[in-house]
Amino acid sequence: MSACGRFEDALDDLAAGGAADQALDAHLHACDACTQALARKRELLARIDRVARDRATAPAVPDVSGRVMARVRANDAGVRWPWRAAAALGAAAAAATVLLIASYSGFLRHPESAAPTQRPPSVLEWRSPTAELAKPTESILDVRLLDSRPASERGDIRGGNHAG
């Protein structure tokens, strides 16, 4: 490290108003570059002090805080959501969540897809489709054809309950 480099921090302290030790004082008498650097640093610090003092003593701009707050309120008014819109959005999200949970839990099954509630016909009630097809044909519009009861219960002549 050169002799000038080891006095760099000491030059900063001296420019800011600190005291110089004997070694720095002897170096400044022998080195013109460090003496000029010290002068530049003192001038820079003096300018900084002058600007800070001018800013601190500058007159306040009238009603600057009122104008700043008015602009802040104007900007906030365009950004805020009305509480009703936020409440509606929250209610819609809650309803969607409830429907989603209900659909996955099986609560919303259609009645058609549920298990049948009627008992299946027993073997004793079974009728052969061939026997039904072998019967003499009647009018297609005959209501008796649409009736699923046995002919004996319908009062059909073919069923044996002939009143004639």
CA 39 to chain centre: 60
Tokens linked to 75: 């900007």
Q: State pTM to two decimals.
A: 0.37
pLDDT value at position 117?
62
Intervals of the chain under pLDDT 50? 140-141, 159-164
pLDDT value at position 107?
66
Quick check: 15 and 41 in contact, CB under 8 A?
Answer: yes
pLDDT value at position 132?
66
pLDDT value at position 21?
87
State the helix-helix crossing angle for 22-30 and 8-15, rounded to 10 degrees.
Answer: 100
The domain locations on the chain are 5-57, 124-159
- In 3D, which of 16, 42, 10, 48 has the Cα closest to residue 28? 10
- In 3D, which of 33, 41, 34, 53 has the Cα closest to residue 17? 41
